Structure 1
Amino acid sequence: MIEAAVTRRTLVKAAAVLGAAAPLPGLARSPKAARVGRFTGVVENGVHAFKGIRYGRAERFARPVAEPFDGPPVTAASFGPLCPQRALADEAQSEDCLFLNVWTPEADPRAKRAVMVYFHGGAYTTGSVTDPLTHGAKLAAGGDVVVVTVNHRLNALGYAWLKPFGARYADSGNLGQLDLILGLQWVRDNVAKFGGDPARVMVFGQSGGGAKIATLMAMPAAKGLFHSAATMSGQQVQASGPAHAWARTQAFMKALGLAPDDVEGLRTMPVSRLVEGLDAVDPVMGGGVYFGPVLDMTNLPRHPFWPDAAPQSLGVPMILGNVREETRAFLNPRGPKLQGLSWDNLAARILPEIKIDLDPVWVVEQYRAHEPGWTPEQVYYAATTAGRSWPGQVIEADARAVAGAGATWVYQLDRPSPTDPLRGAAHTDDIPYVFGTLDAPGSYSGTDAGAQRLSVAMMRAFAGLAKTGRPGLAEWTAYGLPDRATMVFDDTVRVANDPRRWQRELWAKAPYVQPGT
Structure 2
Amino acid sequence: MPLSLNRRALLRAGAAAVAAPYFWVPARAGEGVWFTRTVGPFVEVETTAGRIRGGHDRGALAFKGIPYAGSVSGRNRFKAPPKVTPWAGVRDATRLGPPAMQGPGTTYGEHEAAYSEDCLVLNVWTPAVTDGAKRPVMVYCHGGGFTTGSGGQRIQDGARLAATYDVVVVATNHRLGLLGYLYLGDLGGADYATSGNQGILDIIAALGWVKDNIATFGGDPGNVMVFGESGGSAKTCAIMAAPAAQGLFHKAGMQSGPLLRAQPKDVATETTRRVLAAFDIAPKDHARLLEVPAEKFVALQLAAEKGQGPLTVATREWQANHPAPPPSVAALRAPKPGNWGPVVDGTVLPTHPFDPVAPALVAHVPLLIGAMRDEAAFFERDHPDFFHMDAAALTAHVQRAFGDDAGRILATYRQTRPDATPVEQGIAIETALSMGSGTATLADRKAAQPAPVYRYRNDFQSNIAIKGTDWTLRAGHAIDISITFLNTEMPDLQGDGPGLVDTAKAVSGYFTSFAHTGVPSAAGQPAWPKYDTRDRAVMLLNSQCRVAQDPDGAEREMWQALGA
- Asked if Structure 1 and Structure 2 have the same fold, meaning a TM-score greater than 0.5 normalized by the shorter chain, the answer is yes
TM-score (norm 2): 0.81
Give the corresponding residue for 1:76. 93
Give the corresponding residue for 1:21. none
Give the corresponding residue for 2:546. 494
Distance of 1:289 and 1:70 partners within structure 2: 40
Give the corresponding residue for 1:46. 59
Give the C-alpha shift of residue 432 in structure 1: 1.2
Distance of 1:416 and 1:67 partners within structure 2: 43
Is 1:479 the counterpart of 2:531 in the alignment?
yes
TM-score (norm 1): 0.88
For the residue of structure 1 that corresponds to 2:472, the secondary structure is coil
- Native 8 Å contact 2:463 2:497 kept in 1: no
Do the aligned partners of residues 199 and 55 (structure 1) sit closer, same or farther apart at CA in structure 2, a change above 3 Å counting?
same
Give the C-alpha shift of residue 359 in structure 1: 2.3
Is 1:150 the counterpart of 2:202 in the alignment?
no
Do the aligned partners of residues 351 and 134 (structure 1) sit closer, same or farther apart at CA in structure 2, a change above 3 Å counting?
farther
Do the aligned partners of residues 233 and 352 (structure 1) sit closer, same or farther apart at CA in structure 2, a change above 3 Å counting?
farther
Is 1:436 the counterpart of 2:482 in the alignment?
no
Q: How does 1:125-164 map to 2 (within 5 A)?
A: 125-164=147-186
Is 1:319 the counterpart of 2:376 in the alignment?
no
Which residue among 506, 510, 516 is the counterpart of 1:461? 510
Q: Which amino acid aligns with 1:440?
A: M
Give the corresponding residue for 2:457. 412
Which residue among 405, 413, 424 is the counterpart of 1:359? 405
For the residue of structure 2 that corresponds to 1:436, the secondary structure is coil
- Native 8 Å contact 1:281 1:287 kept in 2: no
Q: How does 1:296-307 map to 2 (within 5 A)?
A: 296-307=345-356
- Native 8 Å contact 2:506 2:543 kept in 1: no
Distance of 2:337 and 2:142 partners within structure 1: 20
Deviates more, 1:273-282 or 1:117-126: 273-282
Give the corresponding residue for 1:341. 389
Q: Unaligned stretches of 5+ in structure 1?
A: 1-29, 513-517
Distance of 1:77 and 1:434 partners within structure 2: 24
Alignment identity in percent? 38
Q: Unaligned stretches of 5+ in structure 2?
A: 1-38, 108-112, 304-310, 315-321, 323-333, 466-470
Distance of 2:351 and 2:563 partners within structure 1: 19
- Native 8 Å contact 2:123 2:152 kept in 1: no
Do the aligned partners of residues 213 and 60 (structure 1) sit closer, same or farther apart at CA in structure 2, a change above 3 Å counting?
same
Q: Which amino acid aligns with 2:352?
A: H
Q: How does 1:250-265 map to 2 (within 5 A)?
A: 250-265=273-288
Give the corresponding residue for 1:281. 312
Is 1:60 the counterpart of 2:82 in the alignment?
no
Distance of 1:353 and 1:134 partners within structure 2: 35
Give the corresponding residue for 2:441. 395
For the residue of structure 1 that corresponds to 2:42, the secondary structure is coil
Give the C-alpha shift of residue 407 in structure 1: 1.0
Give the C-alpha shift of residue 135 in structure 1: 0.8
Give the C-alpha shift of residue 337 in structure 1: 4.8
Deviation string 1:97-143 (CA, Å, 9 cap, x unpaired) is 00000011111241221111100112212111221111111111122
- Native 8 Å contact 1:161 1:173 kept in 2: yes
Is 1:422 the counterpart of 2:469 in the alignment?
no
Do the aligned partners of residues 257 and 70 (structure 1) sit closer, same or farther apart at CA in structure 2, a change above 3 Å counting?
closer
Give the C-alpha shift of residue 323 in structure 1: 0.5
Deviation string 1:382-421 (CA, Å, 9 cap, x unpaired) is 01111232121111110022x2334110000011113435
Deviation string 1:220-273 (CA, Å, 9 cap, x unpaired) is 110010110100001111111100111111222333343344312222111111
- Native 8 Å contact 1:350 1:384 kept in 2: no
For the residue of structure 2 that corresponds to 1:140, the secondary structure is helix
Deviation string 1:6-28 (CA, Å, 9 cap, x unpaired) is xxxxxxxxxxxxxxxxxxxxxxx
Q: How does 1:24-39 map to 2 (within 5 A)?
A: 32-37=41-46, 38-39=51-52
For the residue of structure 1 that corresponds to 2:561, the secondary structure is coil
Give the C-alpha shift of residue 218 in structure 1: 1.1
